Amino acid sequence: MNTCLLEIKNLKVRIGDKTILHGVNLTIDEGTVHVIFGPNGSGKTTLVGAIMGLPQYEVVDGDIKFKGESILSMPSYERARLGIGLAFQRPPAVKGVNLFHLLKAVKRNEDDILAAAEALNLKDYLHRDMNKGFSGGEIKRSEVLQMKLMRPTLLMLDEPESGVDFENIVLLSDIIKEMLEKKQPIVTRKRSGLIITHTGLIIEQIQADVGHVILDGRILCSGNPHEILEAIRTHGFERCVECLEKQRKR
């Protein structure tokens, strides 16, 4: 049996004076890929930001354990060193820091950087300031390039396919699958994924294991990601809202 990599219990998170997550429970085992669906503003980015320890997300209750240890008191860079990585939904442009210099801080070997950039069609972007003037799809590929070189044990991707053209989605998916050791049998896989998606395109390519619907800062249901996506496509999140109301009345 695969062991637990990430365990989140009753997580409550606030931004300023607004509570966004109202008690999230989530367990991710080694070697598994989880997908999160949810309408705009439901708390998806807040969840991965809180796992990464970004300072704007204040944990007011609950716990986040990674490999059995609470990480709540650790700054983001320590969490990254432990093996948690996040490809941002909307990363900032960083003037004066070119992509190559950033990648050098992650990986010393220049040949590895060049090979990874080549694989993501980003070789010509290495000398440019990070994300400055990058198109939406280029930003997403640049985020995945950083993850490819960091090789996190828990790979979190916040809407990785948003704005990416079809050919590049196939390319991204292949690289993400490789990062998640999808070619290995599940029992020997050590890396796990937490992927936020609206389109579901990426999960069809990656073969996700578990899906979750997050609504109003709570995980409303979990199950087969393909079935959940099909239900959302057919009925929309409105049906999820009805389901939440029924659960509340019980």
Ligand X SMILES: Nc1ncnc2c1ncn2[C@@H]1O[C@H](COP(=O)(O)OP(=O)(O)OP(=O)(O)O)[C@@H](O)[C@H]1O
Binding site for Mg ion (CB under 5 A): 44-45, 89
> Cα-atom radius of gyration of the chain, to the nearest Å?
18
In angstroms, the Cα distances linking 28 to 65, 94, 177, 208, 222 are: 10, 32, 17, 12, 12
Residue closer to Mg ion by CB (options 13, 99) is 13
| Cβ proximity of 165 and 137 under 8 Å | yes
CB of 141 to ligand X, least distance (A): 19
Residue closer to ligand X by CB (options 87, 116) is 87
| Cβ proximity of 147 and 155 under 8 Å | yes
Q: Summarize as ranges the residues that interact with ligand X (CB under 6 A).
A: 15-16, 18, 20, 38, 40-46, 89
Residue closer to Mg ion by CB (options 117, 144) is 144
Residue closer to Mg ion by CB (options 122, 219) is 219
Amino acid identity, position 161:
E
CB of 199 to ligand X, least distance (A): 12
Residue with tokens 């439901």: 42
CB of 41 to Mg ion, least distance (A): 8
CB of 215 to Mg ion, least distance (A): 14
Residue with tokens 């070189």: 149
